Amino acid sequence: MNKDKAGAIALTLGDPAGIGPEIIVKAFRDAAVDMRDCFVAGDVSIVRRASRALAASGQPALAVALIDTPADAHDVPPRCVPVLQVVAATGHVIAQGEISAAAGRIAGECVVWAARAALRSEIAAIVTAPLHKEALAAAGYPFPGHTELLQAEAAAHQGRSIAELPVRMMLANDELRTVLVSIHMSLRDAIEAVSFDGVLQTLRIAHRALGAVLGRPPKIGVAGLNPHAGEGGLFGSEERDIIAPAIASARAEGIDADGPHAPDTVFMRARAKAQGPGEFDVVVAMYHDQGLIPVKYLGVDKGVNVTLGLPLVRTSPDHGTAFDIAGKGVADPSSLIEAVRMARSLVRGAGP
């Protein structure tokens, strides 16, 4: 990357009570080449605590450098963690493994700072460490997660309503990609959210975003909502009345979408194997767990969450805050490292 602010990648701190600070330090330790020109948008004292905790558990600790601008990350030596202080210094120690409004505030403020910097083209991309949704809510943020918070920031930056900036979640690893019609809502509400407009919009976003990454139109497999994709209306009419018409409209626009397919087989058909790629480049799933369970089953260490539809690049690991192991030095940074690699590839491909 060039030595300028726009070439830097910001890693947001995540919930300081979780494993975010630990996996960030480990990423700089274990993947120094991948972490070049990356920096932490967070709190230097929290990152230093994470480094000391690694030393206390018998692992190599890293130096932590306070930087003044994103561009300064370029000059920090390998295996040293550059931190840009973007929140007020903590006046007390955040207890690890505990939900708190203080931790939620820090996590939220880091994301807001990074989003605004990316929207001003001051940084190249954002990689978000996990935050805790309950802590975020306790801090007063009216969003269920990163995706909705980033969507709101981007819409405000563009002077648009949230409805005018539709976004979707994609979870991806080396074997499978899925894009979701709906994200964080109850299953009952998610079923109601399966609409013609929602499915068609998802197909358009997936087509545009994956086309930029692959350099060609993606092959999109579409999952049904009901068992056996409704079995011709015997087990539900959503496939016949909503999903299939949306696919037909997408195909009329030149989108290579196929389905709806039985949800219990379409992910296997799309999965890439040693002998070659799967039948589809991506599967559009009708709701959160339908799409995320297959990818996570294949291994959270390689899974990456990508927000599609934003005017910025944002990726994240596909796991949560893991309060049960926070501070124990055993968290695996692999998914975070993969998220950094994915962010770089998206920047090179002109974003999602």
So what's the pLDDT on residue 232?
A: 85
Same domain, 179 and 154: no
Tokens for 57, please give them.
């558990």
Same domain, 138 and 69: yes
Same domain, 107 and 50: yes
Same domain, 291 and 197: yes
Same domain, 309 and 330: yes
Task: Pick 8 or 319 by higher pLDDT.
Answer: 8
**pLDDT one-digit tens code per residue, 243-288:** 999 999 999 999 999 999 999 999 999 998 888 899 999 999 999 9
Residue where the block lists tokens 């563009």:
158
Same domain, 52 and 142: yes
Structural domain tally of the chain? Answer: 2
Task: Flag whether pLDDT at 3 surpasses 60.
Answer: no
Give CA angle at 181 (177, 187), nearest 5°: 110
**pLDDT one-digit tens code per residue, 189-217:** 999 999 999 999 999 999 998 998 888 99
Nearest to 341 by CA among 35, 30, 2: 35
Do residues 333 and 27 touch, judged by C-beta distance below 8 A? Answer: yes
Helix (H, G, I), strand (E, B) or coil at 250: helix
Backbone angles phi, psi at 146, to 5 degrees: -55, -45
So what's the pLDDT on residue 351?
A: 54
Tokens for 283, please give them.
């599967």
Task: State the CATH number of the domain containing residue 240.
Answer: 3.40.718.10
Same domain, 4 and 76: yes
SS3 content of the chain, % helix, strand, coil (to 5): 45, 15, 40
Residue 260 domain boundaries:
174-298
Same domain, 197 and 306: no
> What confidence tier does 349 reach under pLDDT thresholds 50, 70, 90?
low
For residue 91, the tally of other CB atoms under 10 A from its CB is: 6
- Whole-number average pLDDT of the chain: 92
Task: Flag whether pLDDT at 4 surpasses 70.
Answer: no
Q: Within the chain, how many helices (H) and strands (E) appear?
A: 12, 12
Taking each helix axis as running N to C, give the angle between helix 244-252 and helix 196-214, from 0 to 180 degrees, rounded to the nearest 10.
Answer: 50
* Cα–Cα distance list, 58 to 29, 54, 55, 347 (Å): 14, 7, 5, 37
Residue where the block lists tokens 């509400």:
189
Same domain, 294 and 307: no
Tokens for 134, please give them.
């309950």
Tokens for 126, please give them.
């954002």
